[in-house]
Amino acid sequence: MSGTGLAFYLTTLLVYGAVDVIACLGLNQQFGVAGVTNFGYIIFQAAGAYTAATLSLPSQSANGGFQTYIGGLGLPFPVPWIGAMIVGGLLALPFTFLVGRRLRGDFVAIGLLVAAVMANLLVTNFRPFLNGAAGLALVPAPLHSVLDPQSLSYQWGYSAVAILLAAGTYWFCRRMTESPYGRTLRAMRDNDEVADSLGKNLRMLRAQMLVIGGMIAGLSGGVLVGFITLWAPSAWGYAETIVLFAAVIIGGAGNHAGAILGAILVPLGFEEASRFIPAFGPAGLIPALQWVAIGLLIVLFLWFRPQGIIPERRRTTPAAPEKAPSTVQFAVHPRWGPAQAATGLEADAGAGIGEAVLEARDLSRRFGGVDAVAQVSLALSRGRLTGLIGPNGAGKSTTLAMLAGTLPASGGSVWLDGRDITSVPAYCRARLGVVRTFQLASEFKRLTVMENLLSAVPQQRGESLRGALLGRRYWAADEGVSIERAWDMLDGFGLRAQADEYAGDLSGGQRRLVEIMRALMAQPEVLLLDEPMAGVHPKLATEIGQHLIELCHSGMTIGVVEHELAFMDRFCDPVVVMAQGRVLAAGTMAALRQQPEVVEAYLVG
């Protein structure tokens, strides 16, 4: 190969590498950071490429009118690339309604994969739409009217622009990820149900990620089509998405540097290296073996190193001066001011202590015709620690879930401060002050303990997309206040040493404490705890009970499902007994022990 030929080859590699990096960064933002498994990602790259091509091309009558396409505006650079980004984002909008309302988890991936297959079949077989399988040719290169696209200097300039765009995309994605907004995205990725219960609007977050990822994919397609000057639907088959997923997984999902490395190793390096393999066997054998090798790489990395070559980095927090546990002040809902928080139960009597705050009225829930909860009516009163007990299968956790909105009711209603909130979604109830924990461990496993706590802080300045893009100067002061509160919370619960450990690596009891602390960081008016003492040492359970009583004195309303009767005896008044999906009785534990039906249903032994 001559020196000039080698130079052209290197510039081609640079452009292809930059395009793959841009595409992988967008996919990593969706999949690795936000947990949106978009198997239809290639659609948006193809749409961006087509848009850039048709915005660059002259009218259909040019060149003898041998191809059909939409547009043909002959717009100058960089308008086609901007249009590619816009169309990539707009194309994502219909999918946001599908993902947000109907599909979750693996069903999202399947739905988007089906959409990619259908789109490719439509484009390939319906020629009047996008010129069919023939695609588009003679796409003008950017600035072709003033520069010679065939010159070596143009090729180097194009590669430099492509690399700059890749660097800009990396900066953009990193700015989002390294902010409270990015922390919220990672919390949604780890456990979307818990994120929802903490006031995170999952539909909006997923919509933003689909649109942003679509714009990034569209940009990568626009850059590529301007370089190769043609567009063919066969180049954007759904299988190409698998290559990009392989790059993200192998490089390190959730780490943008890993996405860059994966883009260089897989779409660029792996496929380019296969070009040097001598031809053997029947036609098409080598491309088929490429797909087999890519599949094996994915399986091997998922089995032996799921974190990838460059794992997602652990985010640590500078330690604050340690405080004695007795100095801890627990935050309460904003409507309860510092003066109220500092006073006791008697002093707050005039502020509504004892009035019903959260009520269930004839609440029911059916699963496949079976009544898990049947016409349950109960009220949680302000300043009271209300217990909910009953045998397994009594409907306690189901009732709690319906009160919090994480499970819709089949019948009846839920009222908060005299307002019917039955149709209010869980994240809105959390913003109104109703926060819950879960029966099973529900920490954000791949977030540190400190990040778990910070993820629950309401109304953070950097938690929106706008706040994240404004940068650290915009939200750093607000974040500092939240970090100080979190350190106080960790001191109070004795978990300061575990602040920078991944929550998923803690013991069962410690994870329970993280959940309780996280719920308190949300500053709830109503706190719903589902078996919070499971796995917690009895001495620590007593301390937690005392903290809960202090919070009730500050005006907080707390409901707790718990099997430990000693805890109920000491801290809860009133206690509600459920059996077979219904409320059996309510009162103090001493009074309940005198009722034969309660003793028979639950208190025997």
The answer as to whether 282 is a domain residue is: no
pLDDT at 264: 93
Q: Are residues 40 and 165 in the same domain?
A: yes
Residue scoring higher pLDDT (2 or 295): 295
Q: Are residues 476 and 551 in the same domain?
A: no
CA–CA separation, 452 vs 396, rounded Å? Answer: 26
Angle at 143 between CA 139 and CA 144, to 5 degrees: 55
Domain of 40? 10-240
pLDDT band at residue 118 using 50, 70 and 90 as cut-offs: confident
Q: Are residues 338 and 483 in the same domain?
A: no
> pLDDT tens-digit profile of 403-440?
999 999 999 999 999 999 999 999 999 999 999 999 88
Give me the mean pLDDT over the 137-152 stretch. 90
Q: Are residues 590 and 471 in the same domain?
A: no
Q: Are residues 477 and 341 in the same domain?
A: no
3-class SS at 408? coil
Which amino acid is it at 573? D
Share of the chain above pLDDT 70, in %: 88
Q: Are residues 462 and 569 in the same domain?
A: no
pLDDT at 445: 94
CA–CA separation, 34 vs 209, rounded Å? Answer: 7
Task: Name the DSSP letter for residue 105.
Answer: T
Mean pLDDT estimate for the chain = 86
Least confident stretch, 55-59, 70-74, 249-253: 70-74
Give me the mean pLDDT over the 16-25 stretch. 96
The answer to whether the Cα torsion of 540, 545, 550, 552 is positive or negative is positive
Give me the mean pLDDT over the 563-571 stretch. 88
When computed from its CA atoms, the radius of gyration of the chain, rounded to whole angstroms, is 29
The answer as to whether 510 is a domain residue is: no
pLDDT at 104: 62
> pLDDT tens-digit profile of 327-341?
444 444 554 333 333
The answer as to whether 127 is a domain residue is: yes
Least confident stretch, 143-157, 239-253, 328-342, 496-510: 328-342
> pLDDT tens-digit profile of 68-80?
777 788 899 999 9
Give every CB contact of residue 263 below 8 A, 6+ residues apart in sequence: 17, 20, 21, 23, 24, 25, 247, 251
Residue 459: pLDDT over 80: yes
The count of C-alpha atoms lying within 13 angstroms of the C-alpha of 91, restricted to the half-sphere facing its C-beta, is 28
Q: Are residues 468 and 584 in the same domain?
A: no
pLDDT band at residue 157 using 50, 70 and 90 as cut-offs: very high
Q: Residue 583 belongs to a domain with what CATH number?
A: 3.40.50.300
The answer as to whether 91 is a domain residue is: yes
Give me the mean pLDDT over the 359-384 stretch. 92
Taking Cα atoms as reference points, which of 406, 399, 507, 490 lies closest to residue 453? 490
Q: Are residues 490 and 588 in the same domain?
A: no
> pLDDT tens-digit profile of 264-315?
998 888 777 666 666 676 766 777 777 788 888 888 888 888 899 999 999 9
Q: Which of 212, 240, 268 is where one domain is finished?
A: 240
Consecutive H or E run containing 112: helix 106-125
pLDDT band at residue 132 using 50, 70 and 90 as cut-offs: low
The answer as to whether 293 is a domain residue is: no
DSSP letters, 141-157, are PTTTTTS-TTSHHHHHH
CA–CA separation, 160 vs 169, rounded Å? Answer: 14
Q: Are residues 425 and 464 in the same domain?
A: no
Residue 130: pLDDT over 60: yes
Q: Are residues 415 and 469 in the same domain?
A: no
pLDDT at 373: 93
Taking Cα atoms as reference points, which of 399, 380, 402 lies closest to residue 390? 399
pLDDT at 533: 85
> pLDDT tens-digit profile of 568-598?
989 998 999 998 899 999 998 888 888 888 8
pLDDT at 261: 95
- Contacts by 324-328, CB closer than 8 A, 24 or more apart: 324/491, 325/491, 325/492, 325/494, 327/488, 327/491, 328/488, 328/489, 328/491, 328/492
Token pair recorded at residue 174: 């990193």
Q: Are residues 213 and 88 in the same domain?
A: yes
Q: Which of 240, 269, 287 is where one domain is finished?
A: 240
CA–CA separation, 199 vs 188, rounded Å? Answer: 11
The answer as to whether 103 is a domain residue is: yes
pLDDT at 360: 95
The H-assigned helical ranges of 385-523 are 396-404, 426-432, 449-454, 465-470, 472-493, 508-521
Which pTM value belongs to this model? 0.89
The answer as to whether 320 is a domain residue is: no
Q: Which of 217, 240, 263 is where one domain is finished?
A: 240
pLDDT at 381: 93
Token pair recorded at residue 554: 């500050």
CA–CA separation, 124 vs 530, rounded Å? Answer: 54
With beta carbons less than 8 A apart as the criterion, state whether 475 and 180 touch: yes
Q: Are residues 109 and 202 in the same domain?
A: yes
Q: How far apart are the first and last CA of the chain?
A: 88
The answer as to whether 134 is a domain residue is: yes
> pLDDT tens-digit profile of 197-215?
999 999 999 999 999 999 9
Domains contained in the chain, number: 3
pLDDT at 490: 93
Residue 479: pLDDT over 50: yes
